[in-house]
Structures are given as structure tokens and as C-alpha cells.
Structure 1
Amino acid sequence: MPSEPCEPPEKVLRKMGYQFFHPDSSAALKPCLWCKRSLTGGDQCYKNQFYGITSHRCVQMTPTLRCNHKCLFCWRSFEHEYIGEKELSPADIVSKIPFLQKKALGGYKVSYRVTKEKWEEALRPDQYAISLSGEPTLYTHLPELIDLLNQTEGTTFLVSNGTMPGVLRNCHPYQKYISLTGPDRETYLKIARPDEDYWDRILESISDLGHETDAGNRTAIRVTLVKGINDQDPAGYARIIQESGAQFVEVKAYMHVGYSQRRLTIKHMPLHEEIEQFTKQMLPHLSYKVRGENTLSRVICLERDS
């Protein structure tokens, strides 16, 4: 369980492994657990299984830690918020990624478990996941940042809560994720605890997926289920998903990690079997098929049946 905050937010986050792009900005980078496991020859993230992403060549980052949701299941700390910050230019962020990724992984260079080949690959990222924390669409220059990253040899994943549909229409990542936290407004308000009611905006963002603004790119909806809170009405979720043009759907269990342990108990974490059962109840209402499942991450991936 994380300790109570008693230090400046940036100091606490640095101890957690966050690498900041500038002292006055919350734009940050932090390699995830799967990146490090892959680097040392271990398991890779389920995105490798479903989408072919090589975990140790993936950069996890965000242009801002600000967020307009306080989701119960989020592992981030709401106590360590940046009140005001400087927005960096997309060029400033992109130019510093190689240095910060190398710095964050520096201790692994001398590990006997890391081969020279994998270390060199890790220093040549080919995937950028804009998903570390915060809501990236609150960053003013997000479309330009994604366009700049798209000019590299890598792919881009954008994960958003869907509250800024106008911004999302101007974003063209390789794969765009929108989170769906409930089948109805009441459940959404209960679990996402937003700054204001964004439910209609989220439905707009989801209905936009896969249409003209996403031409040539992949789209996905992520459903994170918390037992006893938003794991009801699979048909309701299915109706929203079916009306979208999303290519993929991830139905995933809440994981009892990080600061979510202060808000929820381990009993709120569904078993993989419960994720399977929920997905089976959704499928009759969907024109999707099961693409794959990962029991370690308790996630099932659906793909639209063309």
C-alpha cells in the first residue's frame, strides 16, 4: 500500500520511476512492468499477443498528468496532482524521449539477464503508448504530438477517457482507445467520479470510432470491470459498442494495484472466469468474435467480425 503523501508531488512520482520532461511540466515517461520483463527475457504484455507490440521496445508516456476523472479503479494517486504547469511543445517532448527512456532503463544494461541485442532494441523504440496517466486530450497540442511521433519509425497508441470528442477527431494514432466505464450514465458517474457529467461526450467519442476521422487506423474500446460496481448489464455495454465502428474491444478485470488499493478491496477484482462469463453474455448482442485472451492480465480481446 502506498504511503500517505507528505512530500511534493513530483518528488513522490520520481521515486515511483516517473521521468519528467521538464521541471515545470507533468509530461512524463515511465517504462511499465511488461517492458522490463520483456527486456530481461520474461513475459510480454498482452498487447504483444493481440497486436504484435514488442514490450521492451514500447515507450509509455503522457504529455500531462492532469485528468478530469477520478476513477475508482485508477492506480494513479489523486493526492499528487500538479496544480499548474507549463505545456511543452511536441518537439520538446519527442526530442527527449530517447534520453529519458535510456535513463529509466539504465540499470538493466549491466544485468546478466539482458542480452546486448535486447538492450540495443530497447534504445530503438518502435511503439509509443500515450497512456501512462492523466487524460492526454487535456494537452493542447496532442494532435501535433501524435503526428510528430507518427513520423518516426514507430506506431502510436492513444488511450483516452473520451471526454474531448473534438480533440479526438483531430488525433490520428495507429490505434485509438476509448474507455467505457459503464453501460449507463448512473454507473459512469459512480465509478469515474468526473469533474462534471461527460457521459454524452463519451458516447459521442465512442460513436465516432472507426469513421472518417479514423480512416486507415485501428480503433478500440476498453471496458475495465470492477466487481460489484460496473459489472452489470452486459447487453447495455454491447449496445454502445455495437453502435460504434471500433475494430477491437478489450474486456478487462480491474487490477488491485497502486493507489486504487485505497479506494477498493481485492474482492473488487474479478477472476478471469468472471471476465469470460461477462463477455459471453455480451457476444449475442455484438457482431464481434473472440480474438484472444490472456489469463495473466485477465483480459479478453474481441474483434469486429467482418
Structure 2
Amino acid sequence: MHSVQCDQSKKALRRMGYQFFHPDSSAALKPCLWCKRSLSGGDQCYKNQFYGITSHRCVQFTPTLRCNHTCLFCWRSFEHEYTGEKDLLPQEIVSRIPFLQKKALGGYKVSPKVTKEKWEEALQPDQYAISLAGEPTLYPHLPELIDLLNQTGGTTFLVSNGTMPDVLKRCHPYQKYISLTAPDRETYLRIARPREDYWDQVLESISCLGHETDAGDRTAIRVTLVRGINDQDPEGYARIIQESGAQFVEVKAYMHVGYSQRRLTIKHMPLHDEIEHFTKRMLPHLSYRVLGENTLSRVICLERVS
């Protein structure tokens, strides 16, 4: 029964565009919307605006689909969570990235919107976003995987929920993101719906950002606001952020897409003006300045000034 359920989950995820690294592993790759738009000559992700990342040369993947959160705002599918797992070695993942990225983008090669130059660039990725789905720190070889990717000459972004601070201290991506889903424990438990209470671990991970274990690395905190659920107490968010050493903070609106539509309504999605207002209420309590904003993605990026 377990095997049948895993097979059905994988089939559903493949229909969504997931490319799996191995039949017995949930490690998967899937180019994001912005990668495909950039490849076709369209807009790029806000990470291009804020951090200089070229979207069509970015690989989005995860070493595991396991997660210890079930966040209300997550667009990923808990309904098709893949529980069968073989943890691949880092080299097994890195060696198959070029093949799977080319396979995932294969249909774009013949598109009249895709130039030969961009197509060739897309097949030579220089950015690896470990952010597709799942919680990557639950993969036992994550520090080694990041080290191996760093050796390719490309940049690495790691997005984590912060529940495994000891693992995060051993990871040295180009940029380390930690999600801050709430200003307090009660709100965290309501919106993140964790398998157990990891609030103290999340606070530890955030407080460690930018300190000795991150020497030479860039660090960021991501705040995703859901109207009426976690969009209160900007001062509380600011206190947690200020005590960290994070270089950047992204304050972003929840987007009503994917499987989150089964848990939330479109009324939970803040307007960009609301994100702007919330950020302005945080700023007096922070040693940060506004680096930029992207109204299409409803996100404002802050940068530490001292």
C-alpha cells in the first residue's frame, strides 16, 4: 500500500513538471515560471533585480520532499507528499542536474521566442536554488551537497524553515535564506502547522544568521505575510530581525497560487500597498534601509546598514 501511494504521488508530481533524480528518491528538479519567462525573452524574477541572478540560468531543485512544516501559505502539495525515500549522495544529484534541466526545458528549444544564445546559456546554469519543495535541512548530506555545487563556480541559494539550526551552521551557500513566518510562538503554530513546536529552533537559526558560521556568506530573512493571519505586530518581527545578523530581509505578500488555494482564499493575499505599509511600520525599529521593491511579486527588499 505504501509503495502504491508513493507511485501515485510521484505520477501526480511528474504531471506538475517535477523531474526526479532517482526512482527511489524524492530529490527533484523543476524550472520555475521565471526561468521559463526569462528564457523566452520575458521578465525575470525579483532576485535578478535585488541580487543580480539571471533567471534562465537558475536551477530550482530540492534534495528531498520531506518537510516538518505544513504552512498554510505554501503553494506546494502536501496531498502528494512522497514518503518513500532513498537519500542520494551529493555527487549523484550534482551529476544529473544538467541532464534533468535540459529535459525539463526541452520544449523551449524550438520556440521562436527563445534565441540560440539564451538556450545555450540555460544549459550552462550558474545559480542553484535549493528551494523547490520540502525542507532541505532534513537531507543528511546537505552541507556536502552545497560544497560540491560551490565548486562548479556557480552561486547557491538555500531556503530553509530554520528548524534545524545545527545543520544550517554547517551549510555555506552563497546566500542563506530563513523563513520567519510569525512574530510569536502562537502565530507560528497556527500558520506553519509544524509536526512539533520548533519555534525556539527557528529563533536560534535566525539569531545565528550573519555571525561567525556565516563568515563570507550572504544571509537573508524572508517574511511572507498572509492577510488576517500573520500580518500583525510589525514591531515583533522587527525585534527578531534586528537581533540577527542578516544582510537582507524580504517582506513579501502571500500569493494565492498552487495548492495553497485549498487552504486559503484570495482575500488572504495582501496588496503591494499593504506590504509597503507593514514594512514602513517595521523600519523605525530596524537598522535596515529599503534596497528595492517589485510590485509584480509584491515584495520589498531591505538591506542592513549597520
Q: Who is 2:63 aligned against?
A: 63
Q: Secondary structure at the match of 1:8?
A: helix
1:243 shift after superposition: 0.1
1:84 shift after superposition: 2.4
Letter in 2 for 1:34: W
Aligned pairs, number: 302
Partner Cα separation in structure 2 for residue 31 and residue 293 of structure 1: 24
Q: Secondary structure at the match of 1:236?
A: helix
- Structure 2: which 5+ residue stretches go unaligned? none
Alignment of 1:252-291 (within 5 A): 252-291=252-291
Letter in 2 for 1:109: K
Q: Who is 2:246 aligned against?
A: 246
Q: Who is 1:113 aligned against?
A: 113
Q: Who is 2:300 aligned against?
A: 300
Question: Given the two structures, how large is their TM-score scaled by the length of structure 1?
Answer: 0.98
Partner Cα separation in structure 2 for residue 166 and residue 217 of structure 1: 17
Q: Secondary structure at the match of 1:167?
A: helix
Partner Cα separation in structure 2 for residue 189 and residue 226 of structure 1: 14
1:181 shift after superposition: 0.2
Letter in 2 for 1:122: A
Alignment of 1:1-306 (within 5 A): 8-306=8-306
Letter in 2 for 1:240: I
Q: Secondary structure at the match of 2:85?
A: coil
Over 4 Å off, 4+ runs: none
Partner Cα separation in structure 1 for residue 54 and residue 160 of structure 2: 22
Question: Given the two structures, how large is their TM-score scaled by the length of structure 2?
Answer: 0.98
Letter in 2 for 1:213: T
Partner Cα separation in structure 1 for residue 82 and residue 219 of structure 2: 30
CA deviations on 1:113-139 (whole Å, 9 max, x unpaired) are 000000000000000000000000000
Partner Cα separation in structure 2 for residue 6 and residue 216 of structure 1: 40
1:82 shift after superposition: 1.7
Letter in 2 for 1:70: T
Q: Secondary structure at the match of 2:60?
A: strand
1:7 shift after superposition: 7.6
**Over aligned residue pairs, what C-alpha RMSD do you find?**
1.0
CA deviations on 1:52-104 (whole Å, 9 max, x unpaired) are 00000000000000000000000011111122210000000000000000000
**Identical-pair percentage:** 87
Letter in 1 for 2:195: D
Q: Secondary structure at the match of 2:219?
A: strand
- Structure 1: which 5+ residue stretches go unaligned? none
Asked if the contact 2:57–2:125 (Cα under 8 Å) also holds between the matched residues in 1, the reply is: yes
Partner Cα separation in structure 1 for residue 82 and residue 104 of structure 2: 22
Partner Cα separation in structure 1 for residue 6 and residue 117 of structure 2: 42
Partner Cα separation in structure 1 for residue 26 and residue 161 of structure 2: 18
Asked if the contact 2:26–2:84 (Cα under 8 Å) also holds between the matched residues in 1, the reply is: no
Letter in 2 for 1:292: G
